Amino acid sequence: MKVSSLRLKELALLLAVIAALAILPTLGLPRTWLLYIFLFFIYLTLANMWNLLSGYCGLISLCQPAFIGLGGYTLVICTWRDLPVYLGILGGAIVAALFAVLISTAVFRLRGIYFAIGTLVVPEALRVIFLLWRPVGDQIHGKGAGYMIKGLDSVSMTHIYWLAILIGIASIFIMRLILSSKMGMGLAAIRDNDETAASVGINIFKLKLSAFVISAFVTAIAGAVFFMFQGYISPSAGFSMKWTMTLILATVIGGISTEEGPIIGTAIIIFLHFLLARYAGISLIIQGVLLVIIMSLVPQGIMGFARKTRAYQSLLRLASGPAR
């Protein structure tokens, strides 16, 4: 009964926060504030999906930019064919999921660092392909074979902002749903020891593929929404390794293999993103140094470290109410 009451309180608090965030654009707040919140939920979605693969499945995937770029370019192709923008977002998610299925047979043959290296080359290969390929003709913009996204006149910035919040909150619920299911337990078993998991009848390939496809689908939606906000996509932006750096930093700093970690880590990344904006040339170096420091001092991340403290345990007991 107490657990159920606690969950209701958590849900009520979450709904209140969502409602407050949703009405912010109507209050005339500075555009910069809304940009912070928009990027927070986009990066949170990406971090959650990488945490699903790396933290709970043991797959150090470095091909997430491939899904982001495919989501963005599918959106471009759909809008240039006069299809609705929202159909383009869904189409991008489907294309990314199918691409994940396509490459899964090859990359799942690799393990550990070899899996990471194998997935690392995927977005780079796609970047080169989209530099050479003109998916909607020769009307490119800029030097990077980029395209403007059409059909955005009917979509306000407020709607794009709401989409980011929606996908960010949805990624949290998706993680909670997976981790509380048999699939979550199976993924944890695979992460700890896949040979032992296979010996007790767990279908390793099926579970890995399911996590990979879900991650690709949701990641592509976040990528498409981001490029809707930007209004433009190019191969160097869509398939950039900066995406990988961002989502790894958010997850590792906050605490990998924890549900709260990506939330905390993403908030820190957003703060650093704008704090270091004037140092664009060395911002990645600074973030990389920060990552090394945190991994050296608290390898389990901020949330992993906090869970071991007495203060955190006291807060948990306080939230759960007096024991009987």
81-129 per-position pLDDT tens digit: 889 999 999 999 999 999 999 999 899 988 888 899 999 999 999 999 8
Q: What is the amino acid identity at position 213?
A: V
Residue 144 has pLDDT above 60, yes or no: no
Listed residue (129, 300, 122) closest to 212, CA to CA: 122
- Which of 57-71, 95-109, 132-146, 154-168 has the lowest average pLDDT? 132-146
Percent of the chain with pLDDT over 90: 42
Distance of CA 321 to the CA centre of its chain: 34
What is the per-residue pLDDT across 7-18, written as a single tens digit (0 to 9) for each?
A: 677 677 777 888
Cα 293 from Cα 289, distance rounded (Å): 6
> How much is the pLDDT for 198?
81
Confidence of residue 3 (pLDDT cuts 50, 70, 90): very low
Q: Are 228 and 155 in contact (CB under 8 A)?
A: yes
What is the per-residue pLDDT across 50-75, written as a single tens digit (0 to 9) for each?
A: 999 998 988 999 999 999 999 999 99
* Residue 310: φ, ψ to 5°: -70, -35
Residue 138 has pLDDT above 70, yes or no: no
Close Cβ partners of 293 (under 8 Å, ≥ 6 residues apart): none
Percent of the chain with pLDDT over 70: 88
Number of C-alpha atoms within 13 angstroms, CB side, residue 300?
Answer: 10
Looking up tokens 């930093």 gives 249
Q: Are 175 and 48 in contact (CB under 8 A)?
A: yes
End-to-end CA distance of the chain: 12
> How much is the pLDDT for 145?
66
> How much is the pLDDT for 312?
53
Q: For residues 140 and 230, which has the higher predicted lDDT (pLDDT)?
A: 230
Cα 298 from Cα 40, distance rounded (Å): 23
> How much is the pLDDT for 227?
95
Tokens coding 37 = 């919140």
How many Cβ atoms sit within 10 Å of the Cβ of residue 193? 11
Confidence of residue 44 (pLDDT cuts 50, 70, 90): very high
Residue 324 has pLDDT above 80, yes or no: no
What is the per-residue pLDDT across 208-243, written as a single tens digit (0 to 9) for each?
A: 999 999 999 999 999 999 999 999 898 989 999 889
Tokens coding 35 = 């940009």
Residue 163 has pLDDT above 90, yes or no: yes
- Which of the residue ranges 157-166, 184-193, 304-313 has the most confident prediction, judged by mean pLDDT? 157-166
Per-residue pLDDT averaged across 148-155, rounded?
Answer: 84
- Which of the residue ranges 25-29, 39-43, 108-112 has the most confident prediction, judged by mean pLDDT? 39-43
3-class secondary structure for 168-200? Answer: HHHHHHHHHHHHCCHHHHHHHHHHHCHHHHHHC
Tokens coding 15 = 């709904």
> How much is the pLDDT for 323?
47
Cα 177 from Cα 278, distance rounded (Å): 40
> How much is the pLDDT for 212?
96
How many Cβ atoms sit within 10 Å of the Cβ of residue 195? 8
Angle between helices 2-23 and 157-179 (to 10 degrees): 160
> How much is the pLDDT for 5?
54
Tokens coding 191 = 């992460």
Residue 321 vs residues 1, 10, 93, 303, 312: alpha-carbon distances, Å: 11, 14, 42, 22, 14
Per-residue pLDDT averaged across 125-154, rounded?
Answer: 76
Mean pLDDT of the chain: 84
Residue 26 is classified by DSSP as: G
Confidence of residue 140 (pLDDT cuts 50, 70, 90): low
